Copies of this chain bind each other. A is one copy, B any other.
Amino acid sequence: MKDKINMKTIAGRAGVSVATVSRVINQNGRFSAETEARVRHVMEEMNYHPNTIAKSLREQHSRIIGVIVPDITNAHFAGLVLEIEKILFEHAYSTVICNTNESDALEKKHIDALLSQRVSGIIFISGKRHYSLHDVTVVYVDRRPDNYDTDSDCVVVESDNESGGYLAAECLIRKGCKDITMLYARTMDHNQKMRLTGYQKALAAHDLAVRALEADSVSVEAAAAKIKAYSRAGNRLDGLVCTTDLLAIGAMIGLRELGIGVPEDVKITGYDDSALATLYHPTITSVHQPVRDMARKTVSLLLDHMDGRQKESARYVLPVYLAERETTT
């Protein structure tokens, strides 16, 4: 009844040995054209699917890659995962998705499971650092691991967050803004930090004063509340650099309630160039990250390191650009 057809079945029907069947499947040569045709025909006929599990056991690796991500629901992460999965599949690798919901405990469990599955590699989009992963190839993407310094023995792919912050601030300066503030979220990860640094450098380059607002979370409500409090306190503001599109939207909502117009009174930039940025009204000027390139680089590094068994450290910083839209008109 069940899946009892295996290589032996095929071999029997084709009148050859399992070794030969294996050879034609893997194109390892050492078989005649007729033999190949016969074997292929039988496989077709019986709708045979070579058992990857047995192959993996024999070959000591699974052609499965684990992707650790905080939340696939986040559009930026989803874009990254989509591209990664696509490229991996082209290379005959499967992608196991692991949502951690930012929980260290869950992440640990997922890693244990992946290790048990003898995955060929793990891609971290989580930003957590893992020192104990010596027997598996690892690449960090989008969020560099905790305690990262350049000497660190790990492979990192990121986009140029500092440059992104700089570009956004510079745009506002170019548009004539004088009182430019940055709005970030309390969950101050490294990417946000670098964006802040970029913003600071841009303002310093033009002798403008630096200010920063911290929203309680990455949410519309938190951003709206923060910006309202700031404005009501009488602070001057004509430009706002946000570390996220969501924060930018929250800020606009808050400002709108105060009767402050965007972009007439305050110009705003977001970050990530998410779908929201072009959909929102007004459309949002936003820093675009090269998601596809990041995915491509990540996978190619992973594959290289898996092949070469080389575990050298490396860091790749991919360029971003600013997509200018209505909020900075």
Contacts and interface: CB of A to CB of B under 8 A. Distances in A.
Interface of A: 2-3, 47, 49-54, 56-57, 60, 62, 64, 71-73, 75, 78-79, 81-82, 85-86, 89, 92, 94-99, 101, 109-110, 112-113, 115-118, 132, 135, 220, 246, 249, 252-253, 256, 275-276, 278-281
**8 shortest A-B CB distances, which residue pairs?**
A49-B115, A52-B116, A49-B116, A97-B97, A52-B117, A53-B57, A53-B56, A94-B96
A135 B97 contact: no
Nearest to A250: B279
Contacts of A73: 75, 78-79, 82
Contacts of A101: 86
A276 B281 CA distance: 12
A73 B75 CA distance: 6
A85 B101 CA distance: 12
Contacts of A109: 89
Contact of A51 (B52, B85, B118): B118
A329 to B, nearest CB: 16
User: Oligomeric state, in number of copies?
Assistant: 2
B281 A253 contact: yes
Given A73-B82, A135-B3, A249-B279, A95 B96 contact: yes
A99 B82 contact: yes
Contacts of A86: 99, 101
Contacts of A49: 112, 115-116
A228 to B, nearest CB: 16
A11 to B, nearest CB: 18
